[in-house]
Structures are given as structure tokens and as C-alpha cells.
Amino acid sequence: MTVFTELTLPNGATLANRIAKAAMEENMADENFAPSEQLMQLYKAWADGGAGLLISGNVMVDSRAMTGPGGVVLENEKYLGQFKRWASTGRAQGAHFWMQINHPGRQMPGDLAQQTWAPSPVSVDLGKLSKHFNPPREMTEDVIEDVIQRFIRTARLAEQAGFTGVEVHAAHGYLISQFLSPLTNRRTDKWGGPLENRARLLLEIVSGIRAAVSPAFAVAVKLNSADFQRGGFSQDDAHGVVGMLNEQDVDLVELSGGSYEAPAMHGESRDGRTLAREAYFLEFAEDIQNVARMPVMVTGGIRRLPVAEKVLASGVDMAGIGTALAIDPYLPRDWQQGKQNAPELAPITWKNKPLASLAYMAVVKYQLVKHSVKRRARPGVSPLWALLLNQVDNTLRSRKYRRKMSSVTR
């Protein structure tokens, strides 16, 4: 088996190869939170690049709950035509295209001026950067039920738009991940306490989506292998959740790790022993194979063909690639043509790890913007310069977001 071997999912769909374009935070919505022309161009490049599966960046289920001011939102049919164009663009060369759907919970920037909700009133702890996130309110039963229905509605709309699946984001410290972690979920009702209760939100969302979409529509979950914080979501917890998902007709589980507070997904965590230079979460994925009855995908740091092949040789079903495809969208095609490309960003070794993580995301975003306007990537861009540009862009977009939201009557 090679990275170019087909993969048939439990729902019967067949992916042309074992390479997935993993989700990245594009923040390229237009003024209506719909896919912009820039976003279309970016996905045209990835579609031409030859990956068997494209997974979108965050698509939010609620315009009042955003990971960033330029995020795409799908909560009704108003701009479904643009989503149809986006789906068609991503699928133009035969790739499957899944929409990653998400809710930020407490990880929503405070300057968006929206009410922040979380399972428990536990604030984001980023030292001096904590001021950029508002303290959250504990979600009521009504708010929890509204979120569940929003995930289901967005998945149903994604299928109507022509996407071939959705990936429910239950990792990286966002809302569902917050419910899963005992550090951020301190509830004593049916949504907190034992793992079965902490996993209830994820399971109700997944089962609700599965019942609302066709059997041929893929339903996947992105899950932390661990959140790399003492007392948080552990590897044993991940085992338990995957075991529960085995009963939910899930088509794939993607393993990642970390959160804003411990950004392991960028190659840094509070337990550096668990990370390799490439394929950060491979050892966890190998372990999860003992539990999972659905295909498993591992994402994090893969940039060379031999490493991708090693991932598959370990028994993992798919190799998810993010940063390398931000630099070179045509990497799978190049590998298939015998080229040994290995796109890489220079490590950011700043002492302030949360700030270094923000800079890393800004450098990745810089590459995405270049491709969205048909220009070449600049992987050697200064992290400080990329971060400054990103902050200016976020400031301008945040102002537009607040103006738009103030004009919306709910």
C-alpha cells in the first residue's frame, strides 16, 4: 500500500488516495460570512493539487460564535449558492470535499463583542494574552440544545450544497473539546463528570447528523489524542471516546492534539517527549488502532513522502497534511510525479509559546493569502511581519464584523 492507494470508507465512498488536505484557519469569508472569491481560488489550487480528500477550514454553525472575524458561517440557506460553488470548486478534479463544522466556545476573540459560552465558566489562560478572551458563561440546557441543532442543520445544508461529508471539530480546545476535558467541564449534571457525560454533546451531535443526512454522506470527527495539560483530556479518554464513536456510524476519526493553551498541533506542547519532528501524533494513532473500528487519519507535521508512507505502514489509513500544503498546494501531484518536495517553515523559537503559536498561524495564513491571489508562497517570511499583517487584518475584519452584527435583528 502507498499514499496513492484508494481508501473505501464505511459509507461506501472511495477516496482516490490516502492524502488529505487537513483543515487550516483561512478566515477568508466575504462580508456575508459566505465563501469569498479568494477562498474559491485557494481551493481551486488544492483541488488541482491531487489530494484525495479536502477538509475545509472552520465553518461556524453560529454567526454569534466565531473563531475569527473572517470565518465562514453556514446557518441557513441564504447564501447556499456560494457554498455550492465552493463545493463544486473543491470537487472539480475528483477529490472528496468535507466541511469542517465548529463552535469556538470560550476560544472566541473578545473584540468580536459577542456573548461567550462554555460548558463551565473557566476562562482561557494565556498569561498576558488572556485579556483577548472574555470570561465565558456556563451554557444552559437551552443553549446546549440550540448548539446541537445548529451542528445538525449546518451538516444538512453542507450536503445540500454538494459537499461529500462533514468533519465535526472536537479537538484543539473548541467547544466540544471543552466539554470533553475535565479541566474546562466542571459540570455536575448529565453533561459533566464521567467521560460518558462529557462525551454526550459530541455523541448527540454525531448521531443527530447521521440521522439527518443520507447514508452516502460522510460523517467524520476530529479528536484530540490528548490536550497536553495536566488533569485534562487524556489518552485513556481518547480511547473511551473512540470506543463510543464505534457505535455511531462514523466514517473516519482524525487525531490531532492540543488547544490554544497548549498548542501541540503546531509542534509544541507542555510534554515535548510525546512529539516527533514529523507526524507529531503518530504514536497516539498507532495506539488508537487497537480501539477504532473506523478509518483513522493522523495530522501534524507531515511534509515528506517517506514520512507519509511511514504513517500508512504503521496501520493508519490516511495522512493529513496542513502546513506543507499551505506552502505547496500541488504537493500530492508532485509526489506522484516522482518529485521529493518537502515544504517547510522555519521553526519559531520565541520563549512566549502562545505568541509563537499565533505567529506560526500567521505565517501559514500568509501563504494561504498568496495562493488565493495566484501568487507564489513565501515560506521565509518574517514571523513578526506575518503576525503584524494578520493582526491588522483581524482588527479591520473585527470592526466590520461588529458593525454587521449590530445591524442584525435576532
For the chain, the domains span 7-345
Q: What is the DSSP letter of 365?
A: H
Q: What is the pLDDT of residue 284?
A: 80
Contact 238, 226 (CB under 8 A): yes
The model's pLDDT over 214-224, given as tens digits with 9 standing for 90+, comes to 999 999 999 98
| DSSP secondary structure code for residue 128 in this structure | G
> What CA–CA distances, in Å, run from 193 to 4, 185, 188, 215, 258?
43, 8, 6, 33, 21
**Which ranges of 266-350 would DSSP assign to H, the alpha helix?**
282-288, 305-313, 323-327, 331-336
- SS3 assignment, position 55: strand
**Contact assessment for residue 341 and residue 247, using Cβ atoms and an 8 Å cutoff:** no
For domain 7-345, which CATH number applies: 1.10.8.60, 3.40.190.10, 3.20.20.70, 3.40.190.290? 3.20.20.70
**Tens-place pLDDT, residues 46-67:** 999 999 999 999 999 999 999 9
State the DSSP code for 282.
H
Amino acid in position 23? A
Residue 226, amino acid: A
pLDDT at 229: 65
pTM, 2 dp: 0.93
**How far apart (Å, rounded) are the C-alpha atoms in residues 403 and 401?**
5
Query: CA-to-CA distance for 300 and 317, rounded, in angstroms?
Result: 15
* Strand, coil or helix: 15: strand
SS3 for 8?
strand
What is the full DSSP assignment across 154-190? Answer: HHHHHHHHT-SEEEEEE-TTSHHHHHH-TTT----ST
Residues of the chain with pLDDT under 50: 264-277
Per-residue confidence (pLDDT) for residue 289, from 0 to 100: 84
Query: What's the length of the chain?
Result: 410
